[in-house]
Amino acid sequence: MARLFNFKMMEPASIEHLATLRAKSGSDVDKEIYAFKDKAGREVGLRFDLTVGMTRYVCSKRGLRPPVKLAAAAGAWRYDEPQHARYRWFRQWDLEIFGPESLDADAEVIEATVRLFQRLGLGDVTVNVGDRRAVQAFVGKALHVEDEGRAVELMRALDKSQKRTLPELSKEYEQKGFDPRDVKSLFDFGSIAGPPEKVLDLLGERKVGAPSLASLNDLLRERGVKSVSFNMSIVRGIDYYTGVVFEVSDSAHPGLGSLAGGGRYDFLPRAFGRPELSATGAAGGIDRITMSMERSKDPVPLLVYVAVAGTGARDWAHAVLRELRAGGIACEAPLQPRPLSKQLEDANALGASWSLIVGEREASSRSVTVKDMRTGAEELLPLDGALARLRAPRA
Amino acid sequence: MARLFNFKMMEPASIEHLATLRAKSGSDVDKEIYAFKDKAGREVGLRFDLTVGMTRYVCSKRGLRPPVKLAAAAGAWRYDEPQHARYRWFRQWDLEIFGPESLDADAEVIEATVRLFQRLGLGDVTVNVGDRRAVQAFVGKALHVEDEGRAVELMRALDKSQKRTLPELSKEYEQKGFDPRDVKSLFDFGSIAGPPEKVLDLLGERKVGAPSLASLNDLLRERGVKSVSFNMSIVRGIDYYTGVVFEVSDSAHPGLGSLAGGGRYDFLPRAFGRPELSATGAAGGIDRITMSMERSKDPVPLLVYVAVAGTGARDWAHAVLRELRAGGIACEAPLQPRPLSKQLEDANALGASWSLIVGEREASSRSVTVKDMRTGAEELLPLDGALARLRAPRA
């Protein structure tokens, strides 16, 4: 999918200076970085995502012509306590666009993400889109919180609103000196979610301007991207994201959590000394996608076992193996002399759909005995007839 | 290629206990391990190859049914001084067969390796095969060195004979108490190389039995593997390999060094507590292969730029992009409003072979203006005609 959108594949560095990794992670993820001193005493760490390395690379290459569209699919490490389906090493995919700020780049990242899931046969996803600037406008204009530090602190309550109750948050924020009515208003604001037009109307009623979201909606409609929902509680890392943010969920199982997420993060190129570069992207786990795909479909792939009956048949057996492989068919044969009955047991254990039995009779007639491993039926066929049989769909 | 031989793909662990990595590396590679203490104070290291992790995995899984055929393609790390085309992180491919000792497994690894290079269009390779047991027989029977430690030390001279002169080695080994005539004999032995039958004859004349090599030659002939050379100076890591060893070189440029190598290494499963398991495999660098392939061929892949003339054409432009991508064609369009002339400059900078210009005229007639970026020629075509034009071979 990345190729079709002309993203260039790269693999970011596995080891970065700790300071580089910390530029993104802040205090939240810092403790999860797999950090160590190398033999030269430098403080380094293993990448915990693909974005930092790609951004550091682009920021350091001043000759690149924007927009720079990069993609990666590789492993990353977190020094977490391992849990079920959450390991210290995991694989991610990642799409990033670096260049001048452009809502159409956000739209392109969202489109490519949706097309990726469609291509994988997991098309029934919802993209929940928020915008940090809309939240900021609400906090400034409706709640009249002008001080930036205070505003950011309040916005963090929105992120927490997905997991905590209003009374809990009210109490916490009252102790910090916030008006509980503001927290309540913010909580209500976070509940604005649904079809984009409806959300834009509700924002309008509250006099919260969201010009970016209105434009983004037009751009996504142009691109034919459906199943987009606007959701004001989506803010993600508030210290990190600077514009549009989104999370992708399985429409049928929204409770399973996010399959992918992303947004605009001008913050990071700025930290790497390139304030003129804007950046937007998306990332998702590969292991979880693989698991869903394995669960959802796929017949057993074709595997053929070539059983060798007698050493006089070995040359012919290997000619058969070469012919199968030339035709793209996975096959294997015993690696040591073994009675035919044991070979057929091996074929079963390997999950072969067919065995081709090759003895001296078959060798002299350039044929094979085709054995259907499901029914046990056998038939002597010339090699090309056998290949056609293997390729024919089975009842 | 791994799939066609029914090797199962896996990715071995990136981080291993240092003791596990040392089981293979011995003192030679130890200093090159990217080692560190993790946050829990454990001595660990990044994998320096794929074999150790795969072997550790197979040895720890007692339920696997042999032969276990595994393949991997992934990165590894060495704490070397970086040099041209030799970095601290590099990618390798790897094939391994674990199970009872079987020369046919060695033959299968060699065949799969040769077929891999053929499939990549790098078919003109030579597989130089040696056998530690033949060397051992020569050292024991011709030189009468019975003590195992002394024999191993002498065998190491053979490995060094590829890079050093006889007088240098003679001097070094005389100081260790070896007879210079033995070193000379070993040097001569190492020069035995060439077509398998010729080498087997020469070994016979010297009364060095090499039954494994004779059988391997038959097995490789059965498999139709050509371009095999037997070479008595190929011993590779003498502490590590226990049987057949081989190195693959580019027949046209043997001086470029080895493209891949491997052999039987029963030593390692033994170190991991599974003395009954035998193991044989091959590995090679991916970066070097990629470089050779890039040098050797490949037309520029097709990239199409969709230039948008006027906002009224945006819907149609995105319909065109979707149609191109559905047909497997990589394409991109501007991510912000831009004059047409600048868009065509971008198309050139990206290396697009064609631009499809989409304005309101084209939108209203469901057509596109196809611009050949090489000649500058333009033609208005309906979309399906344009797709056919893009796919047609160019003069």
CATH number at residue A32: 3.30.930.10
Look at chain A and report how many structural domains it folds into: 2
Extract the residue ranges of chain A whose pLDDT is less than 50. Answer: 298
Q: Is B79 on the interface with A (CB under 8 A)?
A: yes
Range of the domain at B86: 8-296
Of the listed ranges A239-248, B98-107, B115-124, the one predicted with least confidence: B115-124
Q: What integer pLDDT is reported at residue B296 of this predicted model?
A: 57
Of the listed ranges A213-227, B27-41, B207-221, B310-324, the one predicted with least confidence: B27-41
**Which residues in chain B have Cβ-Cβ distances shorter than 8 Å to A30?**
none
Q: Which site among A1, A3, A6, A278 would you substitute to test the B interface, given the most B Cβ atoms closer than 10 Å to its Cβ?
A: A6
| pLDDT tens-digit series, residues B16-59 | 999 999 988 765 667 889 999 988 899 999 999 999 999 999 99
Select the residue of B36, B222, B322 nearest A37 (Cβ to Cβ). B36
Contact B65 A349 (CB under 8 A): yes
Residues B336, B282, single domain; the answer is no
Contact A3 B99 (CB under 8 A): no
What is the pLDDT confidence band of residue B189, given thresholds at 50, 70 and 90? very high
Q: What integer pLDDT is reported at residue B122 of this predicted model?
A: 80
Examine residue B178 and state whether it is found in any structural domain, yes or no: yes
Examine residue B191 and state whether it is found in any structural domain, yes or no: yes
Examine residue A337 and state whether it is found in any structural domain, yes or no: yes
Residues A252, A326, single domain; the answer is no
The share of chain B scoring above pLDDT 90, in percent, equals 68
Q: Is A9 on the interface with B (CB under 8 A)?
A: no
Q: What integer pLDDT is reported at residue A164 of this predicted model?
A: 85
Q: Which site among B4, B32, B324 would you substitute to test the A interface, given the most A Cβ atoms closer than 10 Å to its Cβ?
A: B4
Residues B222, B329, single domain; the answer is no
User: Cα A155 from chain centroid?
Assistant: 27
Considering only residues 167 to 186 of chain A, which have any Cβ-Cβ distance to chain B shorter than 8 Å? none
Residues B24, B139, single domain; the answer is yes
Give the DSSP letter string of A330-389.
EEE--SS---HHHHHHHHHHHT-SEEEEE-HHHHHTTEEEEEETTT--EEEEEHHHHHHH
Q: What CA–CA distance (Å, rounded) separates A309 from A77? A: 49
Q: Quick one: average pLDDT of B292-309?
A: 76
**Which residues in chain A have Cβ-Cβ distances shorter than 8 Å to B336?**
100, 102, 104-105
**CATH code, A345:** 3.40.50.800
User: How large is the C-alpha radius of gyration of chain B?
Assistant: 28
Q: What integer pLDDT is reported at residue A386 of this predicted model?
A: 96
**Which residues in chain B have Cβ-Cβ distances shorter than 8 Å to A106?**
none
Contact B330 A34 (CB under 8 A): no
Examine residue A189 and state whether it is found in any structural domain, yes or no: yes
Q: Quick one: average pLDDT of B280-285?
A: 96
Q: What integer pLDDT is reported at residue B28 of this predicted model?
A: 62
Q: Quick one: average pLDDT of B80-94?
A: 84
List the structure tokens of B252: 């046209």
Min Cα separation B1/chain A (Å): 8
Examine residue A336 and state whether it is found in any structural domain, yes or no: yes
Q: Is A225 on the interface with B (CB under 8 A)?
A: no
Contact A326, B1 (CB under 8 A): no
Residues B263, B324, single domain; the answer is no
Examine residue A363 and state whether it is found in any structural domain, yes or no: yes
**Which residues in chain A have Cβ-Cβ distances shorter than 8 Å to B75?**
11, 14
ω into B393 cis (within 30 of 0): no
Q: What integer pLDDT is reported at residue A142 of this predicted model?
A: 85
Q: Quick one: average pLDDT of B389-394?
A: 84
Q: What is the mean pLDDT of chain B?
A: 90
Residues B59, B158, single domain; the answer is yes
| B252, B278, B296 - which closes a domain | B296
Considering only residues 15 to 34 of chain B, which have any Cβ-Cβ distance to chain A shorter than 8 Å? 15, 34
**Which residues in chain B have Cβ-Cβ distances shorter than 8 Å to A105?**
335-336
Of the listed ranges B153-167, B237-251, B345-359, the one predicted with least confidence: B153-167
Residues A158, A287, single domain; the answer is yes
Q: Quick one: average pLDDT of B172-191?
A: 91
Select the residue of A108, A223, A336 nearest B104 (Cβ to Cβ). A336
Contact A65, B335 (CB under 8 A): no
pLDDT at residue B292 is higher than 70: no
pLDDT at residue B85 is higher than 70: no
A297: which residues sit within 8 A by CB, 6+ positions away?
A: A121
Q: Quick one: average pLDDT of B103-110?
A: 96
| A276, A296, A316 - which closes a domain | A296
Residues A352, A235, single domain; the answer is no
Q: What integer pLDDT is reported at residue A391 of this predicted model?
A: 86
Select the residue of A6, A102, A223 nearest B303 (Cβ to Cβ). A6
Better-scored residue on pLDDT, B7 or A209: B7
